[in-house]
Structures are given as C-alpha cells and as structure tokens.
Chain A
C-alpha cells in the first residue's frame, strides 16, 4: 500500500460523501453517507498499513466536484471511480475487505440505476436558495458561515486523523476519535445545508503545513480560539436568523462546540 492508493481512497471518500450531500432522496442520501463513513475507515486502515511499512502518506488530491444536474449523473461516475479503485487491489485481508465493501456499494448503485424513478433532479449546485424562510441578510451570513465552517470541519477531520495515526497515547487517541466523529456530524450538517442553498462545494485541499503539526500545544490553543470564534458565529447566526428551526440548530451546534473545547483542554493537560 502506498500514498497513491491513499490519495485515491481520500478522493473516493469525498466523492461518495458529496454524492450523499448532493442527492435529496433521504434513503439514498443516508445509504451513501454510511458508505462514505466505511470509506473513511478504509482510509484510516490504509494509512496505518502505510505507516507500518515505514512509508508516509499525505492529503494531496486531484479532484473536481462537478455540477451534476441529476441523480444518475452523480451515480454513474461514482460507480466508475469505485470500479477503477477495486482494480488496483491486491490480496491481503485489508484489500479483500475493501473489495467486498465496494462491490456491495456498486451493487447498490446498480440497483438504483436500474430504476428510472430514482433519476431525480439534483439542485445542490444550482444556486437557487431553497431555504425560503431566510431574508437576504441572513442568507448572506449563513452562506459565509457555511463556506468557512465546512472547510474547517474537513480540515479538523483530517488533521485529527493524521495525529491519531501517530500518537502512542490511548487518551489522545480517544479524544482525537471523539473530535473526528463530531466534525463528521458538523460537516454533514453544514454541507446538507449548502446543498439546500444550491452552493454545495468541495472544501479546498489541505497543504501539509496545516496537518504536519510541530507544536501540538500551540495547535490546540489556536484550535480552542477557533472553536470560541465558531461559537460566537453560531450565537450571531442564531440571534439574527428569523427561521426558528435554523436558529435552534445553531444553538445546538454552539453548545456542542463548548464541549469540544473541554475535550481539547484534555489534550493540553496530557
């Protein structure tokens, strides 16, 4: 296993994840999201195998999120990407596991493609706001918040995963896992909202300066300051947005950020 395989796994994780965000049908969305989480675990196992071999991996990627207009336009290239990846696999237990999982994903996609009724329009990229309850100012604030935070959550997932694969401390491993899980949920929430606004976009690529952390303490301190800033943004959005449901959602996220700070302080105390 090498960095080239890791890069393709990273790209496939994003491709499945963003297919899930782009598609409105709740059953398909949910299934694809589950697949993306399985794919993320593959990434973790591939990373560990690479490190055990004394090699390195990185977060470089080479992909574009195309503005697809229908469910089948999303699913067909996704199926091709999965098949291309499977063709690269060898015969270790990990390869066999990934092959088995992804063969199942392809079967599911084939089942969807066999029924034209599944080929509904995709509105995630059309720039047409479907959150009609928002006034212009709220929509602009929300748009900026979503771009900012979707990148941050993607960054946090990858940075914590990078550190988790390198720590020898069980406590650190555990805290990193909690933070990764929480960021997955936030990324999902924010990107599904971007899809409703018609502005779904891939978070930009991470440069190695972002995830090769030389000073963990400084990184955590900066991270706590960022969490505080995110809390403030949630508070502002909650009070300025007139949509009650959205407002409650941002209060909920705000309260979750509070506990993230507590988790991060544990890393500082370690």
Chain B
C-alpha cells in the first residue's frame, strides 16, 4: 500500500502502514473463542476474537484501548496467524521478536506480550468451551504492566 511513498527517514514503512490502517481490527460477530489480556495497573486491555475450524484459524480480529505499539504488534501478529494452525502462533511470536526485537524497548515488549496473552486466553476459552464450560471470554491478567516498565526505565 505504501510502496511508492516516502516515509520519514528511520521510520519503518511497514510499521507506518500498520499505524495508519491496522489490519484485522474490530470484532467477530460469532467467534469460536474470545480472549482478553488486561493490565490492571493502567486499565489497558487487548481482546482477541478467533474463528476456528479445528486447529485452523479461519478469521481473527483484535481490539485494544492501549498504545500504538500494541496496535502495531496486534496488526502484525493477526496478519501472521490468519489461515494458519494455532500451533503456528508460537512461531509467529518468535518471528515478531526477531523482526522487532533489537529495536523494542521494555515497555514495547510488555505491549507485545499483552497481544500474545490475549491470543493464549482465546485458546483457553476455546478449550473451556470444548469441555462444556460456559464462558463468554477467558480473561488473563498481565503479570507486568507497561507503566511499571516505563518507570523502571526512567
């Protein structure tokens, strides 16, 4: 989408595209599973919706009230796992760390973890539903807060 444009020097073109037009953003009407990761210190959350056909992710959406780092990682991660098997997701996490790892701050790493945690929560929700449990969404609380990480870095 941004192939023929100039972006500020030093700014990753792909990141800018995800900032302007986050992919897979929103919600699914009848998802197979819903997971939420919550940072209780800041009140920020990521909610992830999955449409699953056995092990395959046939559709995915996410939403967040978090920062732009969370949005960019959510957009990239959901792009990577769409149409893939759930087992691939762990590899996708590693690939994102490989791609952004060296340039990521501690705070950004916590934001990324919130996206992955929401995905894990959705898988747990799916497992619970398969086992006959009634659960609208599975919620996981974040162990680390991006606010704490920001303060530590100051």
**Surface stretch bound by B, among A37-45, A91-99, A104-112, A135-143:** A135-143
A148 to B70, CA, bound (A): 11
- A115-149: which have CB < 8 Å to B? 126-129, 136-137, 139-140, 143-144, 147-148
Separation in Å of the B110 CB from the closest CB of chain A? 15
Closest beta carbon of chain A to B77's beta carbon, Å = 16
Q: Is the CB of A201 within 8 A of B21?
A: yes
Task: Tell me, yes or no, whether B132 is within 8 Å of chain A by CB.
Answer: no
B47 to chain A: which residues have CB within 8 Å?
207, 209
Instruction: Please provide the chain A residues from 209 to 230 with a CB less than 8 Å away from any CB of chain B in the complex.
Output: 209-210, 218-219, 222, 225
**What is the minimal beta-carbon distance from A246 to any residue of chain B, in angstroms?**
15
Task: Give Cα A139 to B43, complex, Å.
Answer: 29
Say yes or no: is A31 at the interface (Cβ < 8 Å to chain B): no
Chain B residue total in the interface (Cβ 8 A): 28
| A137 proximity list for chain B (CB < 8 A) | 10
Any B CB within 8 A of the CB of A204: yes
Q: Does A257 contact B (CB under 8 A)?
A: no
Interchain CB contact under 8 A, B147 and A136: no
A179 proximal to B (CB < 8 A)? no
Q: Which B residues are in CB contact (< 8 Å) with A144?
A: 68
Supposing A199-B20, A207-B47 touch, asked if A155 and B65 sit within 8 A by C-beta, the answer is yes
Q: Does B35 contact A (CB under 8 A)?
A: no
Bound state CA distance, A269 and B10, in angstroms?
46
Give the interface segment out of B1-9, B84-92, B98-106, B123-131: B1-9
- Asked whether A148 and B42 contact (CB < 8 A) given A140-B11, A207-B27, the answer is no
CB–CB A143/B11 < 8 A = yes
- Which of B8, B64, B68 meets A139, CB within 8 Å? B8
The reply to whether A126 and B8 contact each other, CB–CB distance below 8 Å, is no
Kindly report which residue of chain B lies nearest to residue A139, judged by CB atoms: B8
Give the residues in chain A near B21, CB-CB below 8 Å: 201
B residues in contact with A129, CB < 8 Å:
8
Judge whether A147 and B42 touch: CB under 8 Å: no
Given A225-B42, A225-B147, verify A205-B8 contact (CB < 8 Å).
no
Within 8 A of A (CB), among B1-51: 2, 5-11, 16, 19-22, 25-27, 36, 42-43, 45, 47
Which of B9, B20, B26, B42 lies at the interface centre, i.e. has the most chain A CB atoms within 10 A of its CB?
B20
Given A201-B20, A204-B22, A219-B43, answer yes or no on A210-B65 (Cβ-Cβ < 8 Å). Answer: yes
CA of A147 to CA of B18, assembled, Å: 11
Q: Are B25 and A222 in contact (CB under 8 A)?
A: no
B63 in contact (CB, < 8 A): yes
CB-contacts of B51-72 with A (<8 A): 63-65, 67-68, 71
B10 touches A127 (CB 8 A): no
In chain A, what residue has the closest Cβ to B25? Answer: A204
Question: Is B71 a contact of A218 with CB atoms below 8 Å?
Answer: no
Q: Is the CB of A136 within 8 A of B9?
A: yes
**Which residues from chain A contact B147 at a C-beta distance below 8 Å?**
225
Residue of A nearest to B20 (CB): A201
Q: Please, which residues of chain A bring their CB within 8 A of the CB of B36?
A: 209
Task: Give A68 Cβ to nearest chain B Cβ, in Å.
Answer: 14
If A126-B5, A201-B19 touch, whether A148 touches B26 (CB-CB below 8 Å) is no
Task: Give the distance in Å from the alpha carbon of A144 to the alpha carbon of B70 in the complex.
Answer: 13
In the assembled complex, the Cα of A20 lies from the Cα of B4 at a distance in Å of 26
Assess A143 versus B8: contact at CB under 8 Å? Given A205-B63, A207-B27. yes
The residue of chain B having its C-beta at the shortest distance from the C-beta of A194 within the complex is B20
Contact A205 B16 (CB under 8 A): no
Most A C-beta atoms less than 10 A away, residue of B16, B19, B45: B19
B18 to chain A, nearest CB (A): 10
Min distance, Cβ B73 to any Cβ of chain A, angstroms: 14
Which A residues contact B (CB, under 8 angstroms)? 126-129, 136-137, 139-140, 143-144, 147-148, 151, 155, 199, 201, 204-207, 209-210, 218-219, 222, 225
